[in-house]
Amino acid sequence: MRNLFISDLDGTLLNTRSLVSAASAEIITSLSKAGALISIATARTPATVDLLLTDTFTTPPAIVMTGAAMWDRHTRRYCDVIAIPEATATHIIGCCTEGGLNPFIYNIGDDGVIDTRFYGIPSQAERHFIAGRSNLPLKRMHLMGDTPAELHGEPVLIFALGPTERIERVASQLRLAGHCSVSSYPDIFDPATAYLEVFAFGVSKAAAVRKLKERLNADRLTVFGDNLNDLPMMAVADVAVAVANAMPQVREAADIVIGANDTDSVARYMLEHAGV
């Protein structure tokens, strides 16, 4: 039986230092080289995914930007990119700015590098986010100031962070409009802060993991998660696994609850169930 394992990164495969431990990297690399199908599904872009998985060998494409694209780590190319139509993107940006959120707008350039444009005066949390994603080989960060007068092509992601109440208000407004896919969830370290991710209609981790399962002709899909944006892919998995530090709603939705992200529990579960 071909079992496809797909793990979320932050709070799940990554430990509390936001790293893949040496032990987890060794286990996953050994299993992958023996033929196991292991990948990740994350809200992150390849700019940070590649850095985090430097010592972790996997073979299937990585699901990035919550399923708006896949990233082939070996050819270093995007595939299955789903962009937001221009009219929809304009509406999303307007909702963000009217709701007091400063949007980050992500476009994939012709050279395969993500151009991220930030509009507004950054808060402390936004400055921290920008600093951690600047000067990366696969991402260019542009601080634009005012609200965009025009789009630079069709974006793949419109992102914002801010107070949880404000994020949820804008997320609800966008969901009611029904023209896009909306993901909102709290910061795993600071529940007062939340994240908003908006994609083209139909984009989700669930759609992406199902597509990858079919493409790889896998018989069984096992997913690992910790946060609310993992619930859709957990709902379509054959086996949904939550780490012990997952949010209560995620633990309740899971078929199995394993150890916390600081105990290499995801990699050790794969080792026990990979069958290679």
DSSP 42-69: -SS-HHHHHHHTTT----SPEEEGGGTE
Query: Which letter does DSSP use for residue 87 in this model?
Result: H
* Residue 135: band (very low, low, confident or very high) from pLDDT cuts 50, 70, 90: confident
Output the pLDDT for position 149: 64
Long-range contacts of 212-216 (CB under 8 A, 24+ apart): 212/4, 212/6, 212/39, 212/60, 212/61, 212/63, 212/70, 213/4, 216/2, 216/4, 216/37, 216/60
% of the chain at pLDDT higher than 90: 84
- Give residue-wise pLDDT tens across range 173-211: 999 988 999 999 888 788 899 999 999 999 999 999 999
Instruction: For the domain made up of 3-80+204-273, give the CATH fold.
Output: Rossmann fold (3.40.50)
Q: How many CB atoms lie within 10 A of CB 183?
A: 22
Position 275 scores a pLDDT of 80
pLDDT of 276 higher than 80: no
CATH code of the region 86-200? 3.30.1240.10
What does residue 103 show for φ and ψ, rounded to 5 degrees? -80, 140
Contacts of 69 (CB under 8 A, 6+ apart): 78, 79, 80, 81, 82, 108, 156
Mean pLDDT computed over every residue of the chain:
94
Cβ atoms of 177 and 91 closer than 8 Å:
yes
| Domain extents in the chain | 3-80+204-273, 86-200
pLDDT given at position 146: 76
pLDDT at 161 over 80: yes
The 10 Å Cβ neighbour count of residue 140 is 18
Q: Give mean pLDDT, residues 155-163.
A: 96
Residue-level pLDDT at 83: 97
- Report the Cα 18 to chain-centroid distance in Å: 14
